[in-house]
Structure 1
Amino acid sequence: MAERRPLIAANWKMHPIPDGALDVDSAYRTRSDIDVLVFPTALELHQCIDAKLMVGAQYGHWEPSGAHTGDISMPMLAQIGCRSVLCGHSERRQGHGETNAIVIQQVIAALEAGLHPILCIGETQKEREAGKAQTVVQEQIAGAPLEQELTIAYEPVWAIGSGKSATPADAQQMHAYIRSLLPVHVREQIRILYGGSVQPANASSLLEQPDIDGALVGGAALDPAQFQAIVYAAVSPPSPHD
């Protein structure tokens, strides 16, 4: 990775808090050499915030208030102590009909509320096979306030929860392309995470790539030992190549 401070994010999705995650010495705590973010369910945000973890929400509505049954606004999330929010995770794009325009509204609303948005982008298998991967991510980024403080997470949809991951070379190629889309004066400051079946076995080879600044971890984030191994991979120097 480059000089950007690494970030490992645990997306627990619709699962309970892993055993021991709230302990003072758990792998889910930010350290002096790495940022660690956890994304629990909305019901468990308070519990994680009270335990002094660095906490983000899995979703926030772009309107500050109103007749939006079941939703939570960005200012509400900030008020209870959330630091970050996921915007446009593929499972919400596909399962909840979130369009590119809606996701960008979420990013803007998060910034206005003082939250750090993580803009999730990535192509499907069909789009990749059609040679449209770069076009898709370019369209997903278009309109985002890239000159403000945010993070991008590249998560190829075909890799999420599948056990399949992009090769380190393929992931680096896409991350480099995404970085090329950023404004020149912030290009080297914005962190770009990789998400998609990140495991202890592939974490080092992914995280040693120059444009991969961390990981958005799903399944492996539910296992403290696996997650700890991924965190260690982000801060340990890569093995020398022969």
Structure 2
Amino acid sequence: MKNLLALNWKMNKTPTEARAWAQELGEKLEAGQAELAVMAPAITLSALAANLPTGVGFGGQDVSAHESGAYTGEISAAMLKDVGATYAVVGHSERRDYHGETDAVVAAKARQAQANGLTPIVCVGEKLDVREAGEHVPFTLAQLAGSLEGVGTDVVVAYEPVWAIGTGKTATAEDAEELAAAIRSALEERYGDAAAGIRVLYGGSVKPDNIASICAKPNVNGALVGGASLKVADVLGMNDALK
């Protein structure tokens, strides 16, 4: 299974900056063994569609749980699909924390993404107090179960320990594998043999110097990358590390 590098820009880059980033990537990117996809602010997606090199995809950082209607400020899955997106991130810890999104809301968003031909990247992961209490595995699996309610097999799961996002702290490769293996088992219980084709990503302070050891683990199939996605040089470094 090909590794996926889902590059989550968060609230960074104007359309002009996104265009320049995509053009620089096109000038310098060499063939690698990972799939690259940029999770960018919705306002930049048209610029990415016109300038990303062939083979590099993109997606939304969020998607509405509703098909259309009176939901001011929201972006529908159909809108993302129309500009060429293939992915939509749902349930990122920042959405859960800052916007109060529940597992049920995350599942509704994932279902809406799938109904419109997008692959949802469903994010799960624990905070530091949960890990220190030794409850990180059951907590994450419960979150996963709620977030996959009614969701089909065309899905990516991203395990992001919240304590490692943007903090400079990184779970060890063994930590990532512990949860990835548990997630894989849960997916097998839910989806049977189809679980073998579902990618499980790790996210949280991923950089060129640690991505290879993390993705070498048998149940880790790539990374959801935050800060290191903003510079083309770092993206190239991560891509090269996975060759």
SS in 1 for 2:210: helix
Instruction: Give the aligned partner of residue 169 of structure 1.
Output: 174
Contact kept, 8 Å, 2:32 with 2:240, in 1: the verdict is no
What does residue range 57-206 of structure 1 map to in structure 2 within 5 Å? 57-143=60-146, 144=148, 145=150, 147-183=152-188, 184-206=192-214
Runs of 4+ in 1 over 3 A off after TM superposition: 17-20
SS at match of 1:77: helix
- Partner letter of residue 218 of structure 1? G
User: For 1:78-134, what per-residue CA distance to the aligned partner results, in whole angstroms no more than 9, with x for missing partners?
Assistant: 122111100101111111111111001011100001001100110000111122211
- Local SS of the residue matching 1:49: helix
Q: 1:32: how far off?
A: 6.6
Is contact 2:22–2:51 with CA below 8 Å preserved after alignment? no
Task: State which drifts further: 36-45 or 181-190.
Answer: 181-190
- Per the normalisation by structure 2, the TM-score is 0.89
Change (3 A) 1:187 1:48: same
Instruction: Tell me the distance in 1 between the aligned counterparts of 2:135 and 2:74.
Output: 33
Q: Supply the distance in 1 between the matched residues of 2:97 and 2:27 (Cα, whole angstroms).
A: 36
SS in 1 for 2:22: coil
> Aligned-pair RMSD on alpha carbons?
1.7
| Equivalent residue runs for 1:36-47 within 5 Å | 36-47=36-47
- Judge conservation of contact 1:12–1:41 (CA < 8 Å) in 2: yes
* Contact 1:147/1:186, CA 8 A, preserved across alignment: no
Deviation (angstroms), 1:141: 1.6
Q: Which runs of 5+ in 2 are unaligned?
A: none
Q: Where do residues 200-239 of structure 1 align in structure 2 (5 Å cutoff)?
A: 200-234=208-242, 236=243
Checking the alignment, whether the CA contact within 8 Å between 1:207 and 1:233 is kept in structure 2 is no
Distance of 1:214 and 1:172 partners within structure 2: 12
- Tell me, in whole angstroms, the C-alpha distance in 2 between the residues paired with 1:48 and 1:20: 9
- Distance apart, 1:34 and its partner CA: 2.4
CA distance, structure 2, for counterparts of residue 33 and residue 201 of structure 1 = 17
> Structure 2: which amino acid aligns with 1:34?
A
Alignment correspondent of 1:21: 22
**Residue 21 of structure 2 is aligned to residue 10 of structure 1:** no
CA deviation map 1:43-64 (0-9, x unaligned): 1011001224411000110101
**Number of residue pairs matched?**
230
TM-score by length of 1: 0.90
Choose between structure 1 and 2: higher helix proportion: 2
Partner of 1:49: 49
CA drift of 1:146 comes to: 5.5
**Structure 2 counterpart SS, 1:187:** helix
The question of whether the paired residues in 2 share the 8 Å contact of 1:20 and 1:26 is answered with: no
Whole-Å separation in 2 of the counterparts to 1:178 and 1:10: 21
SS at match of 1:194: strand
